[in-house]
Homo-oligomer: A and B are copies of this chain.
Amino acid sequence: MQQQYYNFCAGPAALPTTVLQRAQDELLNWQGRGVSVMEMSHRHPAFMELAETAEINLRRLLNIPNHYKVLFLQGGATTQFAVLPMNLLADLASADYLDTGIWSAKAIAAMAPFGQARLAANFAGKNQVPSKTQLQLDPQAAYVHYCPNETISGLAFDYVPDTGSVPLVADMSSVLLSTPLEVNRFGLIYAGAQKNIGPAGLTLVIVREDLLGRARPETPGPLNYTLQAAQNSMLNTPPTLAWYLAAMVFEWLLEQGGLSTIAEQNQLKARLLYEQIDSSTLYINTIKPTCRSMMNVTFTLDNPDLEILFLAQAEAAGILSLKGHRAVGGMRASIYNAVPVAAVKTLIEFMADFERRH
């Protein structure tokens, strides 16, 4: 019997098996055209149709209003950290940033050459996010930036900050498409694809139209929101293979019943896992319960000497990539959309069994 595997990688992460199977089936001959989808011009009518359908499906999934543009870019969220002020700061002096951990801190650091990254909340290293009343927002800020889900620590906002007329910008790399979203609460949303969207190498940007037109001239064309919006993200050759895979993920999400259904499953997976942790004396998660991530469940072992053994035995049981980020150590189970409930149940059983044995 072939061993079953359960992939909890934080990213590049698990993709839906049916999507990979379809990609495999048609890898050398897409739509009966005699070539791979990755061997075709992005301006071929068939690929243009794929791209257009992908956007339509993404808009349907997230209920994206018409006055938002959807961009399919390259470079990952880390590139956006600098590209964001290039595109949005204009002649303003500062933007507000909420510091809640490693990813938001990276975004703050990347802002330095462009203007002031004013800390509207400094919660670095804390096990909770700022409450609504703890946000010290500057009404003159170019935008307010935050990271709704800190993938490394497993910390998440349980609310969308109200920033009034200042555009709210969110690095949603690890949560976009995991749950329904009120897009109109945001000025701009961006996300690297390699969690819930597709393979690494694609970056989604959803931007309100009135924020276009203010990019600095130094902005590289393919990273200029305004130019890419005008060219349907084809100012230059886009990452067609990644786009194609993301398009199939969007279809898969619609087939699953859309984001409400997916969110229910994600909530169930997270609840099961946190319950296992909380009912144990071996596993520890110190994040404030209301701020626990639904996507990245982190935990340490009461006896740290057991962590290497835990990881090794998990891997031997086919439970992969539980090692925490190298910046913080410990364990992390990333339970993105494509991780089935059954995988989480297997992990829980393993955790219970491991605890009994140690």
A312 CB to nearest chain B CB (Å): 14
A134 within 8 A of B: no
Residues B240 and A201 in contact, CB atoms below 8 Å apart? yes
A97-128 contacts to B, CB under 8 A, are 110, 112-114
Which B residue's beta carbon lies closest to that of A7?
Answer: B35
| A78 interface residue (CB < 8 Å to B) | yes
A220→B36 contact, CB < 8 A: no
How many chain copies? Answer: 2
What is the CB-to-nearest-CB distance from A302 to chain B, in angstroms, rounded to a whole number?
Answer: 26
- How far, in angstroms, from A216 to B114 measured CA to CA in the complex? 11
Task: Report Cα–Cα, A241/B201, bound state, in Å.
Answer: 8
A79 cross-chain contacts in B, Cβ below 8 A: 74-75, 220-223, 236
A238: Cβ under 8 A from any B Cβ = yes
Q: How far is the CA of A308 from the CA of B110 in the complex (A)?
A: 50
A17 to B28, CA, bound (A): 8
Q: Which of A37-45, A54-62, A256-264, A347-355 participates in binding chain B? A: A37-45
* Contact of B43 with A222 in the complex, beta carbons under 8 Å: no
A9 CB to nearest chain B CB (Å) = 5
Residues of B within 8 A of A13 (CB): 39
User: Shortest CB–CB separation between residue A112 and chain B, in angstroms?
Assistant: 7
A21 in contact with B12 (CB, 8 Å) = no
Instruction: Sort chain A's interface into a size bin.
Output: 35 or more
Quick one: which of B12, B113, B218 contacts A40, CB cutoff 8 A? B12
Q: How far is the CA of A77 from the CA of B220 in the complex (A)?
A: 11
User: CA A41 – CA B325 in complex, angstroms?
Assistant: 11
Neighbouring B residues of A15 by C-beta, 8 Å: 36, 38-39
Q: Which residues of B contact A44 (CB under 8 A)?
A: 321
Partner of A24, one of B27, B82, B216, B221: B27
List chain B residues, Cβ under 8 A from A154. Answer: none
Query: Please, which residues of chain B bring their CB within 8 A of the CB of A41?
Result: 9-12, 321
Interface of A is mostly: loop
When C-beta atoms are compared, the residue in chain B nearest to A11 turns out to be B237
The residue that A240 contacts in the complex, of B23, B35, B199, B236, with Cβ under 8 A, is B199
| Residues from chain B with Cβ under 8 Å of A159 in the complex | none
**Contact: B39 with A9, CB < 8 Å?**
yes
Query: Pick the contact of A20 from B10, B12, B20, B27 — CB < 8 Å?
Result: B27
A184 to chain B, nearest CB (A): 28
The answer to whether A24 touches B28 (Cβ under 8 A) is: yes
| Complex interface: chain B residues within 8 A of A161 (CB) | none
A194 within 8 A of B: yes
The chain B residue sitting closest to A318, CB to CB, is B34
**Contact present for A222 and B75 (CB under 8 Å):** yes
Contact with B along A40-77 (1 / 0, CB 8 A): 11111000000000000000000000000000001111
The yes or no answer to A83 lying at the interface (CB within 8 A) is: yes
| Chain B CB within 8 A of A133 CB | no
Which residues from chain B contact A40 at a C-beta distance below 8 Å?
9, 12, 321
Neighbouring B residues of A23 by C-beta, 8 Å: 27
- A320 on the interface (CB 8 Å rule)? yes
Cβ of A326 under 8 Å from chain B: yes
A157 at the interface (CB under 8 A from B): no
6 additional contacts, CB 8 Å, given A110-B221, A199-B240?
A5-B33, A14-B39, A20-B28, A34-B320, A79-B220, A220-B223
- Can you name 7 A-B pairs with beta carbons within 8 Å? A7-B39, A12-B240, A17-B28, A74-B75, A74-B79, A78-B221, A239-B242
